[in-house]
Amino acid sequence: MRTLFKHTMALLLVALLSACGSSQSTPATRTIKAVIKSSALTANMNIAGISLAISLPVGVAPPLDSNGKADPAATVLITSSSPQGQTLPGATYTPATATVSGQLAVSAIVAAGFAATDTITIHLNIAAGATPVESDFALLSFDAFDTNGATVTGLSPTLTTTIQ
């Protein structure tokens, strides 16, 4: 009985010690939130569609679907006072290289029309080891269309990035 107790204690000690030591934990996923807001948008402009593109540095990508393409539902969030009739026709992602910035182009539609307080939030992932800064992101293009499909000009979109 005494031998059984010693062996049990030895096995318990080995099990406890093997659980200690250097544990390898995966680093927390870091994300970027890019918010696009059109500051010149006013009531009754009837903006129903927006198409935009932003630059992305190396190591930053949108959430991807199983085919390796940008997943619009996981990438783009429209915050609208008219949540009915929202669609995301697409998101096209071109990865950055060592010499050229990447690009993410998205389209968003709110059938009832965007309101002056509405925003488009783009969620991006940061790869391990990448160190992007807010100035790495730029709004490359911004086009707005009214409920009849006509181009709306004179808007002043802003891009605000937050690295978390």
pTM of the model: 0.76
pLDDT tens for 110-133 read: 888 887 778 888 999 999 999 999
CATH topology of domain 29-163: Immunoglobulin-like (2.60.40)
pLDDT tens for 13-52 read: 333 333 344 344 344 567 878 787 766 666 667 788 899 9
- What pLDDT does residue 22 have? 38
Q: How far apart are CA 119 and CA 50, in angstroms?
A: 11
How far CA 15 is from CA of 12, 24, 97, in Å, comes to 5, 18, 47
Q: 83 versus 74: which is more confidently predicted?
A: 74
Task: Tell me what the mean pLDDT of segment 65-86 comes to.
Answer: 83
Percent of the chain topping pLDDT 90: 35
- Domain boundaries of the chain, sorted by first residue: 29-163
pLDDT tens for 55-74 read: 999 999 999 999 999 998 89
Residue among 127, 134, 50, 52 at smallest CA distance from 96: 127
